[in-house]
């Protein structure tokens, strides 16, 4: 979710987000991105479409975005390494708030990074 996707929280977090390819923008087991009505409306205004159209195009069920086969958020720009959230100005509140002023778990958890790095490498067509 860094400048890339979810810069918020402490200055330290923002520094990490700035150089991060957006690990938190991949859906992993146990992780959830919870989208609320305000988030949908913000996106609708961003795209100049209705809330219903946002739901139809981008939502999986009532409360989260669709993901691609590799688990990446539908809004993750998979062709670049930085500034990967294609709706950065209109991203959902959870993406803005994460990691809630705490150290980002993705940076410290090797298991999470190991799960996501190959997907990023594949998406960017670079050797792992």
Interacting residue ranges for ligand SF4, rule: CB under 6 A: 1-2, 4-6, 16-17, 20, 22-25, 33, 73, 75-76, 85, 87, 91-92, 95, 98-99, 104, 106-107
- Nearer CB in complex with ligand SF4: 106/119: 106
Q: Using CA atoms, how far apart are residues 123 and 106, in angstroms rounded to an integer?
A: 19
Q: How far is the CB of 6 from ligand SF4 (least distance, A)?
A: 5
CA–CA distances in Å: residue 6 to residues 18, 53, 107, 122, 125:
9, 24, 14, 22, 24
Q: How far is the CB of 127 from ligand SF4 (least distance, A)?
A: 21
Residue in this structure with the two tokens 């298991």, named with its chain if needed: 111
- Nearer CB in complex with ligand SF4: 17/123: 17
- Nearer CB in complex with ligand SF4: 48/103: 103
Q: How far is the CB of 38 from ligand SF4 (least distance, A)?
A: 14
Sequence-distant (≥ 6) Cβ neighbours of residue 37 within 8 angstroms: 51
Q: Using CA atoms, how far apart are residues 74 and 67, in angstroms rounded to an integer?
A: 5
């Amino acid at each position: 979710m860094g400048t890339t996707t979810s810069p918020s929280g402490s200055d330290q977090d923002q520094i990490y987000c700035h150089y991060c390819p957006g690990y938190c923008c991949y859906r992993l087991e146990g992780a959830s991105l919870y989208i609320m009505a305000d988030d949908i409306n913000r996106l609708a205004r961003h795209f100049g479409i209705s809330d219903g159209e946002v739901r139809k195009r981008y939502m999986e069920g009532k409360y989260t975005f669709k993901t691609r086969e590799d688990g990446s958020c539908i809004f993750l720009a998979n062709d670049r390494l930085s500034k990967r959230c294609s709706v950065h100005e209109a991203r959902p509140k959870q993406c803005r708030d994460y990691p809630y002023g705490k150290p980002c778990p993705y940076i410290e958890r090797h298991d999470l990074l190991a799960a996501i790095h190959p997907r990023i490498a594949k998406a960017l067509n670079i050797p792992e």
